[in-house]
Structure 1
Amino acid sequence: MPQPRLSSALKRKSGLPLWLAIGWRVAGVMALLGIAIGVHWFDRAGLRDSYDGNVSFLDVIYFTMISITTTGYGDIAPVSERARMFDALVVTPIRIFVVLLFLGTAYNFVLKRTWEKWRMALIQRNLHDHIVVAGFGTTGSEAVDELIARGTRPRDIVVIENNAEALARAEALGCNVLQGDATRDATLEDVKLDRAASMIVAAGRDDTSILITLTARHLSANLPISVIVRAEDNELPARAAGATTVINPVSFAGLLLAGSSGNQHLTDYMMDLASVRGRISLTERQVHADEIGRPLSAITTGLGVRIYRDGNPYAFCDPECAALKAEDTIVEIVRRNGDKP
């Protein structure tokens, strides 16, 4: 059975206030009733009243209403061919349209909202260890594509975005989606940020991304948050806001360009490491119990290039990598199938 999605906010909210939207429907129904009453009144000679033989204006209103509601007591009936044809070809479609209009109104304003609230509550109960992506523009969508290519299930990804078209693309991938403002506490609480495994912030503007990060850190003190910023000056504010990882695509592109100058294969290798489509990839993991005390070069799962100990990075050539400790995090290069390169 396919996983349900957070789609209650996918549709863009109508600009009409609720009372006006209902008022337009009521006005439409009254207009249709007015047409039917008017025609019946002008053609009242084709109607017969079995009670007193006289068809008054109130009788016409009465007959029209019981005809539209399919009650049909039979005390007033069309007797002329013209009156019967009008009831058959005009009143019957009006009756169907009025019924559909009332049913549609009941669905839009009562049943649909109740159903979507129930679905959202069901999805929220099942959200655990998911990845929250704030922003589904070019960068956010590429991040989601890469996550899915790396094996993350789309149902374990929640996309927050204001643009309905972008959300439709995310939903087509199978992700949970929520239309809203990721800078607001209520929005992040709706996606159960406190139970998320990590968060990616790619709002498109540095100030918005930093504000989202600040809000997310306020709600979850230990959540890993990756943020993309486009100005180098905003890297420090992003970290101060609580970002675990700050990525500057401009700086990274500059590094690739500099590396490619006179070294044509370095950039290709870096792209191979970064993309899931390459033959090898960079991964990180905790030290295994049987690796404690051994050097980083002795691990068998991949090619160890760095460890993190007490928040500090150490390269494979540093003396700290001569003996691994239980709390170390290993960064290694592995083949796509998990074998050592």
Structure 2
Amino acid sequence: MGPLMRERWRRARQGRGQQMFDKPDYALVGVIRIPELEKSPTRAIGRRVLWALFALFVCSLVVYFDRGGYSDGKGEPMTYLDSLYYSTVTLSTTGYGDITPVSESARLINILFVTPLRVLFLIVLIGTTLEVLTERSRQAIKIQNWRNRVRNHTVIVGYGTKGQTATAAIIADGVRPGEVVVVDDDQAALDAAAADGLVTVRGDATKSDVLRLAGMAHAAALVIAANRDDTAVMVTLTARELNPRAKIVAAIRESENTHLMRQSGANSVVVSSETAGRLLGIATITPSVVEVVEDLLSPEEGYAIAEREVDPSEVGGSPAHTRDLVLGVVRDGALHRVGDKQVEEIEIGDRLLYVRQGERG
């Protein structure tokens, strides 16, 4: 993308970037979703029913112990069944009036015990309604807290097959689910991400205000798993403008668009169609090679490719003679293969790309 086109793209977004970002937190409920622990509806309803029965039982005991202060309208002595009946109609605010407190002690007990139990009983019965009414406020508070503290996280654009696989690899490599933010405009994809415990943002990732909501300005990395190459280019441009330091990794379908992704600011570009084609070709001749590649790309089992800092004892030595199987040396942001004359000796500040034992290997 040339400088003129880039400038036009930038001007087209001026004045719109803050439109959604500056909205109050309560207006973002439904756009940003913070993961919560899943609660069983059956268990929640059962808990409320038990609390209601407990309140009813306590009230009936209080009334029965002071049954001499009550009149049932017939002048007959109160039984426990009468006490239970009175508690039921009182706590449910039905109040038929056929049993009433007549003594001062019974009325005092009604004030101190029965009335608070009535309030508790009603709260338990309408707890679900209250929870729904307060959910929006709770989400707004959680969104505010999340926006204030989100830093050095990973943003995933697109939660299809590629996005889900990339996220699984990131989490398997030690990143907590709460440090991953998924941006997508497909509600089904967002629901799947939320079920995986990820923070989600609903919207078009090519728009700067949507990426701002995802905390792109403070993100450590961005993974673009869009379905279209032009979308990947636009997302890269938008993200690079918001965060010049973030590591941007993108998947595209056509190799001819690789240079566009590089010019737009992507650090790494994966051509998914060509990569899959190579593996298919290799599998026809040496299927075991594909198995090894899959093993290396799965951090949780077998072997995995990782990157680490250089140990002081390794400085000055050859990358081929370290304790690990080193594949390359990262120096000044550039990767050099083992055997390259530029990295015949390890220097301070280098990082080693090596094969390590997987978590369950």
1:333 matched to 2:337? no
The CA deviation at 1:298 is 2.8
Distance of 1:299 and 1:141 partners within structure 2: 35
Q: TM-score, normalised by structure 1?
A: 0.64
Task: Call closer, same or farther: CA 1:117–1:277 in 2, change over 3 Å.
Answer: closer
Distance across 1 between alignment mates of 2:182 and 2:171: 13
SS at match of 1:158: strand
Identical-residue share of aligned pairs (%): 27
2:257 maps to which of 226, 229, 234: 234
Cα RMSD, aligned residues only: 2.6
Q: 2:142 pairs with 115, 119, 127, which one?
A: 119
What's 2:40 paired with? none
Distance change >3 Å, CA 146–CA 7, structure 1 → 2: farther
> Which range is displaced more, 254-263 or 131-140?
254-263
TM-score, normalised to structure 2, is 0.61
Which digits, 9 at most, give the CA deviation of each residue in 1:192-217, with x for residues without a partner?
21221211011211111110011000
Are residues 1:318 and 2:340 paired?
A: yes
Give the Cα–Cα distance (whole angstroms) in 2 for the partners of residues 286 and 221 of structure 1: 24
Q: CA deviation at 1:114?
A: 5.1
1:305/1:331 contact within 8 Å kept: yes
Which 10-residue stretch deviates more, 172-181 or 276-285? 276-285
Deviates more, 1:317-326 or 1:152-161: 317-326
1:243 Cα deviation from its structure 2 partner: 0.5
Identify which of 174, 177, 180 aligns with 1:157.
Answer: 180
Partner letter of residue 306 of structure 1?
Answer: G
Change (3 A) 1:254 1:217: same
**Which of 306, 316, 321 is the matching residue for 1:283?**
306
In 2: Cα distance, 1:177 partner to 1:311 partner:
31
Q: CA offset at residue 337 of structure 1?
A: 4.6
Equivalent runs, 1:189-228 vs 2, <5 Å: 189-228=212-251
Matches within 5 A, 1:1-341: 8-9=30-31, 115-300=138-323, 302-337=324-359
The unaligned stretches of length 5 or more in structure 2 are 1-27, 34-125
Return closer, same or farther for 1:260/1:112 CA change in 2, 3 Å cut-off. closer
Summarize the Cα distance change of 1:334–1:135 in structure 2 as closer, same or farther, 3 Å threshold.
same
- Asked if structure 2 preserves the Cα contact closer than 8 Å seen for 1:194 and 1:219, the reply is yes
Deviation at 1:10, TM superposition (A): 6.1
Q: Partners of 1:338 and 1:329 in 2: how far apart? A: 24
Alignment gaps of 5+ in structure 1: 1-5, 12-99
| C-alpha distance in structure 1 between counterparts of 2:291 and 2:246, whole Å | 32
Larger mean CA deviation between 124-133 and 270-279 belongs to 270-279
Give the letter for the 1:200 counterpart: V
In 1, Cα distance between equivalents of 2:221 and 2:356: 23
